[in-house]
Amino acid sequence: MSIGVALGPSALDTSENAVDTAVEFGRRAAAAGLDSLWFGQQFSHDTIGVATVVGREVPELEVGTSAVPIPARHPLFVASQAQTAQAAVHGRFTLGLGLGAAAFSEPVFGIDYDRPIARAGRGRGSPSWFPVW
């Protein structure tokens, strides 16, 4: 069995440097015997990038994203980020995707939140996610 912890994005938002704070959380998690550390997405930092740095700095820890919202991201861009992260941490990265939330998709990104699963799967004006993987 593998045991990990998800770090809420607000834990990084209150620090002077989100990356340094994430690395310190990673070191503490590994020292406590945890196997993995997962990062959530906010506007203050890129969760794939943060997970990658932590994975490089704390090589005994698996890292991942507890959800990268996909409405405003192109599948090929996220796929290339994930491949880079995977290479940087030598196979210890897991990408978690999320459909986002209407509160952000519509007013912030201008993307209709109607039927998010259908939009993610087969278009409706945005690229399909499934053929990329």
More confident of the two residues 116 and 45: 45
Name the residue among 12, 67, 13 with its Cα closest to residue 38: 67
- Number of Cβ within 10 Å of residue 34's Cβ equals 17
Report residue 130's pLDDT band, with 50, 70 and 90 as the boundaries.
Answer: low
Is-above-0.85 flag for pTM? no
Q: Assign residue 34 a region: left if phi > 0, alpha if psi is -120 to 50, beta otherwise?
A: beta
Percent of the chain with pLDDT over 70: 88
